[in-house]
Amino acid sequence: MQGQEPLVSIIIPHFNGREILKNCLESLARTKYSHKEIIVVDNASTDGSVEEAQRFFPEIHVVRNRENRGYAGGCNSGLARAKGRYVVFLNNDTEVDPGWLSRLVAACEQDETIAAVQPKLLSLTDRTFFDYAGAAGGFLDIFGYPFARGRIFFTIEKDEGQYDQNADIFWACGTAMLVRKSVLDEVGAFDEDFFAHMEEIDLSWRFHLAGYRVVAVPQAVVFHSAGSTLKTDSPKKMYLNHRNSLVMLLKNYQLKNLLWIFPGRIFLELATLGYALAKMDWVRVKAVAAASMHVILHVRLILRRRKRTQSLRKILDAKIFTRLYRGSIVWEYFIRGRRVQDLN
């Protein structure tokens, strides 16, 4: 059987946390897929968690970074070591269903136009609900605000089988995503300047630009403890989400569309800033202001990254728009009170 299965490299970026890493590796040991290698990337942990994992799971490969390079840099470090036809990027705070990997690989093996697939992500603490991070597959509105089948902003749906069919999505969640390695060789890996958050959306956008698809495979199931690394209300997380979203728009749109979409995004940033000021939410105020200042101060660097991204383009934004939500998810959710079920 092993000779018939393509090799899969499972890359787990890790920074501290003995129990979460041990639980993740224990669940991987129960995976019913034999031809795999597990690469744990130690982002300069200080608690001995990786050494302990090596004692319990001597078969794992360990890549050690001298500093915490975040999710993006950690995954890229592991990718340099990966030998598989497919690569899985997996959070350390996950547990997997035994059949998850076989189902993801099978979906890709059937269609070479698929660059990446995402399993159904359920909450580890309440397995009847979708996970906050990626739920049943990610979407994006034209202004760069992400949402997912099963989760939009603060509304998380109960899993009642409503998203149990394979479907094209815009982005696969970095919590657990399987990617065709040949496509990574073609379009590049994660943008390490993102550090963490939104980098998988940026990568998925490049897949689309190069003419590939991203697909949700809900028959594969992974459980995730959202917020184990950075809490939802973490100042750093807020900053990274705002900053990386702005940079992502600047990198990926054609210029003619960027010229009308980016001002709309700036308006929404200003509205967020005004709301945060009215609520005296100083954490949000600082996050939005710092994100905007980063873009202003690093515009030349962002333009160089944009040039590299645009060089990959094989399809125009006219087709990209068919895969985006053409309205504003902020308007629909906060003003009109609509929810994910209404939008799909």
| Inter-residue contact 219 to 97 (CB < 8 Å) | no
Domain span at residue 320 reads 235-343
Burial (CB count <10 Å: 0-12, 13-18, 19+), residue 339: middle
pLDDT (average), residues 185-193: 97
CATH value at residue 16 = 3.90.550.10
Domain co-membership, 168 together with 252? no
Looking up tokens 């094209």 gives 168
Domain co-membership, 55 together with 130? yes
Domain co-membership, 220 together with 239? no
Tokens of 257: 């569309």
Domain co-membership, 189 together with 103? yes
Among 168, 195, 224, the domain-final residue is: 224
For residue 297, tell me if it sits in a domain: yes
Domain co-membership, 19 together with 104? yes
Domain co-membership, 191 together with 104? yes
Q: Over the stretch 39-90, which tens digit does the pLDDT of each residue have?
A: 999 999 999 999 999 999 999 999 999 999 999 999 999 999 999 999 999 9
State residue 338's pLDDT score.
83
Residue 206: CB atoms within 10 A of its CB come to 23
Q: Over the stretch 132-185, which tens digit does the pLDDT of each residue have?
A: 999 999 999 999 999 999 999 999 999 999 999 999 999 999 999 999 999 999
Tokens of 306: 């944009």
pLDDT exceeds 80 at position 305: yes
For residue 229, tell me if it sits in a domain: no
- Where does the pLDDT of residue 36 fall: very low under 50, low under 70, confident under 90, or very high at 90 and above? very high
Domain co-membership, 163 together with 240? no
State residue 234's pLDDT score.
85
User: What is the model's pTM?
Assistant: 0.95
State residue 229's pLDDT score.
60
Domain co-membership, 240 together with 210? no
State residue 340's pLDDT score.
64
Number of domains making up the chain: 2
Report the C-alpha gap between 311 and 205 in whole angstroms. 13
Domain co-membership, 326 together with 273? yes
Domain co-membership, 215 together with 242? no
State residue 174's pLDDT score.
97
pLDDT (average), residues 301-309: 97
pLDDT exceeds 70 at position 129: yes
Domain co-membership, 216 together with 280? no
Domain co-membership, 198 together with 306? no
User: What's the gap between Cα 46 and its chain centre?
Assistant: 26
Report the C-alpha gap between 5 and 191 in whole angstroms. 30
Among 224, 255, 285, the domain-final residue is: 224
For residue 33, tell me if it sits in a domain: yes
For residue 306, tell me if it sits in a domain: yes
State residue 1's pLDDT score.
42
For residue 230, tell me if it sits in a domain: no
pLDDT (average), residues 297-324: 97
- Where does the pLDDT of residue 202 fall: very low under 50, low under 70, confident under 90, or very high at 90 and above? very high
